[in-house]
Amino acid sequence: CADKKGNIWIGTSTHGIFRYDGKTVVNISKTSNIGEVEARCIFSDSKGNVWIGTTKGITKFDGSFHPISIPGCENIRAIFEDKLGNIWIGTRGRGVFIYDGKDWKQLNSQNGLNNDNAYSFVQDKKGKLWIGTGGGVFVYSDGKINKHYSVNEGLCNSYAGSMVIDKFGTIWVGTDNCVARFDGNKFLSITTKEGLTSGTVYLINTDNFGNIWVGTNKGLDRIALTEKGEIESIRNYGKDEGFKGIECNSRATCIDLEGCLWFGTIKGAIKFDPKEELVRKPEMPILNITDIKLFYDAVEWQKHSDTLSQWYALPSELKLAHDENHLTFYFSGISKTLPENIRYSFKLEGFDKDWSPYDELSSTTYSNLPPGKYRFLVKASTKAGIESEAPAEFSFEIKAPFWTSWWFLLLCVIGLCGAIYVYNEYRKRKHELYLERLEKIIKQRTAEIVKQRDENEILLKEVHHRVKNNLQIINSLINIQSDYVNDPKASELFREIRNRIRTISLVHEKLYKSTDYGNINVKEYVNMLVENLIDTYSINKEISLKLDLEVQHFNLNTIIPLGLLLNEVISNSFKYAFNEIEDGLIEIELHKSNVSDEYTIIIGDNGKGYDQKLLDSENSTLGLELIKILATQLNGTIERIEKEGTYYILKFKPLKD
């Protein structure tokens, strides 16, 4: 440490205490009664007293040496004075001892700390005392521990071996893994990734210019801060920069009355004046691109260019074919003062977005470069951050293949358009020929179908004509036979048979006269059927026919049983309904269901209705049974409606062809 008189006190582990007055170094252990103690820390208080902490206890120097007797206070690691003049002593294994000038007070794991190894102290602007221990950082205020910071609050390591407060009031902690910087809420880590020589920090201090100095096991680092207290840069000092001690000792640092920093290392004490450089200012590296290889092979570049560089015979305005796109650049930086510390950063304009990180490799390779214009840039820097004056550069061009040129693309477009045109014409002609053949086939097939249809029509008409004629012959034979029958019941039976045959014959007559052989016009058919029955029964009365037919047509399989059923019902009407009235009405309604394929037909007359005796007669029973059979054949049901006259309702489904 530095005392009030400007003396520098240096403690060692094997040779006791030394004092340096600026001219002479004196071994105090040999000139006083303190002996060759193993000193761990030395501190100068505000009154000019020097406190020496050793593995055995504490000695105070106020002109002479006085051992301080504190029960249990040994293995001293840190001594500190707060703003009130209290002396804080950190020990290894016994916690913290606090001296207010009269009494000693102990702070350990029994009353606030969770770790009894105390290594460092600092006091912030608010008067809070920060204690660095083996278990993190503790904050002491108002006579007690109020806060504890550990790994959970951002410390990269729980060992807080050294601490310092910068001019902005920020607390910096040296640990075994990093430097931790407190932002007001938590600690942020600074490691080798940010530029430290090592994460193993042995000491930390600040100079009069606000820089933070970090001593590690691999050298010394200076952290420069901006005007706002943020990290601006980190510079490393090692043997080449004059810091010959390399590995620092724990908490072995102080600043003297002249603002010079002192660092204790394993090879002695080093004094550094921040106002000056440790060594003379290094010269900027001299940088050149020394060679360029193509696919890792040396190239006679004079074959590629008429102009070559003076020293390394590299071509200017180099133009390469599209497949010569694998280049390796070699470069070299020369520093007269620090030749072994040169690092390089490079960038290929036209390919890279950013400069590469600094690295000691002196070559780089770019493969599969696309066609284009490029400029390779490389710059050199020493570890001290001294960069070459300007980047070395090399420009070249990789020509595009002919198939990417505008004229080739134009030819391809023209050729493609021509091919599309020819192909479309070919397809168009092929389609026309296909349509011609198809039209010819269609005409031929149509003629065949028309011919076949005409033949079928003639044949079908002939069939219907013959069926109708045969039915008429049968009807005539029955009519002749009925003339020889005297029994009224038998005559009536013959008449009913003739009506039924005539009903079927009417269907074939309609088909014979129709052009649509699949369907029969229902209204026309019913009219013909009723007219035939009027002629048959020779009723000399005004009989009206009321039709309400939603359905226009039925096929042959449906119309025949439906016609026979209508014949039976209407025949019954002519036989029984109009005996007592002059004006009769026969009603037929035909409707189709809106929700299914079922049809409903209502048939009836406004006559007197059936006589119960007639209903019970044999003839009547046969007719009614036939009606039921025909309804079943139509997949339907028929029942009588309770209404004036005689009415039936038939629900059925048309039969398929």
Burial class for 101, CB neighbours closer than 10 Å (0-12, 13-18, 19+):
exposed
What is the rounded distance in angstroms from the CA atom of residue 372 to the CA atom of residue 395?
11
Residue 246 falls in which region: left (phi positive, over 0), alpha (psi -120 to 50) or beta: left
CA dihedral 382, 385, 389, 391 (to 10 degrees): 80
> In the structure, what pLDDT confidence band is assigned to residue 535 with cuts at 50, 70 and 90?
confident
Task: Provide the 8-state DSSP code for 554.
Answer: E
DSSP letters spanning 126-149: TSPEEEEETTEEEEEETTEEEEEE
Burial class for 410, CB neighbours closer than 10 Å (0-12, 13-18, 19+):
exposed
For the segment 184-196, the average pLDDT, to the nearest whole number, is: 91
- Rounded to the nearest integer, the mean pLDDT of the chain is 85
What is the rounded distance in angstroms from the CA atom of residue 497 to the CA atom of residue 189?
119
Higher-pLDDT residue of 630, 294: 294
**Residues facing 182 on adjacent strands:** 187
Q: How far apart are the first and last CA of the chain?
A: 123
For the segment 359-388, the average pLDDT, to the nearest whole number, is: 88
What integer pLDDT is reported at residue 256 of this predicted model?
Answer: 95
What integer pLDDT is reported at residue 460 of this predicted model?
Answer: 54
The rounded radius of gyration (Å) of the Cα atoms in the chain is 62
What integer pLDDT is reported at residue 168 of this predicted model?
Answer: 94
For the segment 315-325, the average pLDDT, to the nearest whole number, is: 88
* pTM (two decimals): 0.49
Lowest mean pLDDT among 47-61, 97-111, 308-322, 359-373: 308-322
Query: Is residue 129 within 8 Å of 123, Cβ to Cβ?
Result: yes
CA dihedral 409, 413, 418, 423 (to 10 degrees): 120
CA 534 to chain centre: 88
What integer pLDDT is reported at residue 619 of this predicted model?
Answer: 47
Q: Is the pLDDT of residue 492 over 90?
A: no
Give residue for tokens 């206070």: 73
For the segment 536-552, the average pLDDT, to the nearest whole number, is: 79
Lowest mean pLDDT among 9-18, 351-360, 378-387: 378-387
Give residue for tokens 């902690």: 173
What integer pLDDT is reported at residue 48 of this predicted model?
Answer: 93
Lowest mean pLDDT among 132-141, 178-187, 412-421, 543-552: 543-552
pLDDT digits (tens, 9 = 90+) for 452-474: 766 656 655 555 555 556 566 67
What integer pLDDT is reported at residue 570 of this predicted model?
Answer: 84
What integer pLDDT is reported at residue 607 of this predicted model?
Answer: 84
For the segment 589-616, the average pLDDT, to the nearest whole number, is: 80
Q: Is the pLDDT of residue 279 over 80?
A: no
What is the rounded distance in angstroms from the CA atom of residue 202 to the CA atom of residue 264?
10
pLDDT digits (tens, 9 = 90+) for 163-185: 999 999 999 999 999 999 998 88
For the segment 186-205, the average pLDDT, to the nearest whole number, is: 93
What integer pLDDT is reported at residue 74 of this predicted model?
Answer: 85
Q: Is the pLDDT of residue 262 over 60?
A: yes
